[in-house]
């Protein structure tokens, strides 16, 4: 066996997650998890039926602040961005591990969030993404309490705002940049959605732009020769569509929305589009972004030059509406190894993968971070037909418990 393999195996053994399974307090906590399925489901339904549209997570946040207090967390508070924070204090403050789940859904205000049963499936928008993660956070606190588990370090439970879409990770950004926990966090774990198969340790970076071009408009016949924002925008789209994105590191782009103009015989006054750029590599993302901005600039100049005789020019407004950094928590990091080991002792063979989650922000700051599922099954996320089936949820909760205790240590 090559030396490197032996040393990796040795390091795994030294984590002794398997030893935790012998600890009476962990056994008690596991028994609690095994016998609390109804309690966990009731919690899940309560959370899901409090709407949390983008930028309107306050009501669900208030529920979490109340729950954190009821469950005995320390220093429960809501920060200025809307994140709800509470501490399960150990012997010391360090290591300080953040366990989090996002409060927001993708669904607008007024969406019916009543949970309906179809067989063993619970159906409601947001039930899996991310009410499953939020409910697991509550279940984990209850399990720690049930086992009277005394930690060496401290866990900060955080219900974050603004994970989805245009929320653009505003909750975690605040937490790690201006919040009271900034620069004190040793590792970050996000519970997001069901399943136990994936450990997301790589952050998929993205940049999103909203572009708007404006001109004077006019009559298609009478004013011919005036700058046309739709023509200019189309030139930019055509240039972008010809960009050769590498497949490794995977890099993608899409113009997801385009609109403009008023009528067939009218030179439009405006045209706009939303563009989504993604890459596994920060350098490739920047290259693609530069290409888009140059293509836009060229497209506007070309239209202005082409129609210079009219004496009118197009105005361009380019707004960055999403900016998620990329990066990764190394496989060899203590956090990833502990998560792998906690999975393995539960009989799970995890797959390391890449996604865009709350972990993007700590990863970009060099703080070890992963995102994991919390058991059960689901489908149709981000659709009104979203469903969650709690079968196998105990496995997710137990792994989460082992991971939390493995990261902080037990006294």
Residues that bind Zn ion (CB under 5 A): 129-130, 192
Nearest distance in Å: CB 102, Zn ion: 6
Nearer to Zn ion, 258 or 355 (CB): 355
| Cα distance between residue 24 and residue 26, in whole Å | 5
- List of long-range contacts for 328-331, beta carbons under 8 Å, 24+ apart: 328/201, 328/202, 328/203, 328/354, 328/363, 329/201, 329/202, 329/359, 329/363, 329/368, 329/369, 329/370, 330/201, 331/201
Name the residue nearer to Zn ion (CB basis): 57 or 192. Answer: 192
Q: Which is nearer to Zn ion, 103 or 181 (CB)?
A: 103
Residue 218 or 396: which CB sits closer to Zn ion?
Answer: 396
Q: Which is nearer to Zn ion, 199 or 316 (CB)?
A: 199
Residue whose CB is less far from Zn ion, 102 or 207: 102
230 contacts: CB under 8 Å, gap ≥ 6: 260, 261, 268, 271
Distance in Å, CB of 53 to Zn ion, minimum? 14
Nearer to Zn ion, 126 or 147 (CB): 126
- Alpha-carbon dihedral angle through residues 97, 101, 102, 105, given to the nearest 10 degrees: 170
Distance of closest approach, residue 57 Cβ to Zn ion, in angstroms: 13
State the Cα–Cα distance between residues 332 and 247, nearest whole angstrom: 25
**Least separation, in Å, of the C-beta of 192 and Zn ion?**
4
Provide the minimum distance between the beta carbon of 291 and Zn ion in the complex, in angstroms, as a whole number.
30
CB of 128 to Zn ion, least distance (A): 9
Complex with Zn ion: residue 135 or 149, whichever CB lies closer: 135
How many beta carbons lie within 10 A of that of residue 112, not counting itself? 11
Q: Which is nearer to Zn ion, 305 or 384 (CB)?
A: 384
Decide whether 138 or 226 has the Cβ nearer to Zn ion. 138
> Closest approach of Cβ 341 to Zn ion, in Å?
25
Q: Smallest distance, Å, CB 157 to Zn ion?
A: 17
**Smaller CB distance to Zn ion: residue 190 or 408?**
190
Least distance to Zn ion, CB of residue 324, Å: 13
Closest distance to Zn ion from the beta carbon of 381 (Å): 8
Least distance from Zn ion to the Cβ atom of residue 115, Å: 18
């Amino acid at each position: 066996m090559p030396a490197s393999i032996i040393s990796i195996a040795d390091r795994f053994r030294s984590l002794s997650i398997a030893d935790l399974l012998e600890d009476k307090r962990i056994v008690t906590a596991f028994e609690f998890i095994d016998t609390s399925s109804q309690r966990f489901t009731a919690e899940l339904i309560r959370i899901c039926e409090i709407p949390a549209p983008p930028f309107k997570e306050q009501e669900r946040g208030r529920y979490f602040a109340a729950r954190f207090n009821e469950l005995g967390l320390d220093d429960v508070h809501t920060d200025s961005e809307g994140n709800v924070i509470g501490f399960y204090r150990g012997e010391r403050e360090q290591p300080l591990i953040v366990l989090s789940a996002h409060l927001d859904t993708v669904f607008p205000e007024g969406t019916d969030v009543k949970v309906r049963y179809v067989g063993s499936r619970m159906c409601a928008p947001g039930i899996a993404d991310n009410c499953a993660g939020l409910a697991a956070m509550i279940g984990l606190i209850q399990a720690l309490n049930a086992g009277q588990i005394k930690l060496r370090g401290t866990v900060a439970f955080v219900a974050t705002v603004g994970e989805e879409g245009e929320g653009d990770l505003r909750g975690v950004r605040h937490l790690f940049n201006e919040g009271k926990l900034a620069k004190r966090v040793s590792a970050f774990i996000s519970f997001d959605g069901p399943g136990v198969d994936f450990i997301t340790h790589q952050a998929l970076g993205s940049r999103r732009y909203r572009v708007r071009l404006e001109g004077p408009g006019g009559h298609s016949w009478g004013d011919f020769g005036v700058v046309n924002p739709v023509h200019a925008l189309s030139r930019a789209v055509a240039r972008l569509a010809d960009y050769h994105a590498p497949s490794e590191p995977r890099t993608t782009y899409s113009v997801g929305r385009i609109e403009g103009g008023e009528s067939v015989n009218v030179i439009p006054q405006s045209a706009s589009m939303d563009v989504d750029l993604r890459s596994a590599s920060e350098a490739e993302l920047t290259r693609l972004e530069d290409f888009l901005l140059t293509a836009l600039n060229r497209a506007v100049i070309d239209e202005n030059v082409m129609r210079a005789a009219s004496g009118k020019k197009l105005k361009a407004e380019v707004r960055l509406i999403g900016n998620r950094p990329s990066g990764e928590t190394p496989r060899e990091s203590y956090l990833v190894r502990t998560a792998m080991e906690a999975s393995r002792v539960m009989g799970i063979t995890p797959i390391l993968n890449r996604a865009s989650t709350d972990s993007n922000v700590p990863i970009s700051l060099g703080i070890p971070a992963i995102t994991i599922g919390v058991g059960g099954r689901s489908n149709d996320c981000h659709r009104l037909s979203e469903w969650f089936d709690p079968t196998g949820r105990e496995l997710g909760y137990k792994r989460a418990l082992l991971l939390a205790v493995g990261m902080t240590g037990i006294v």
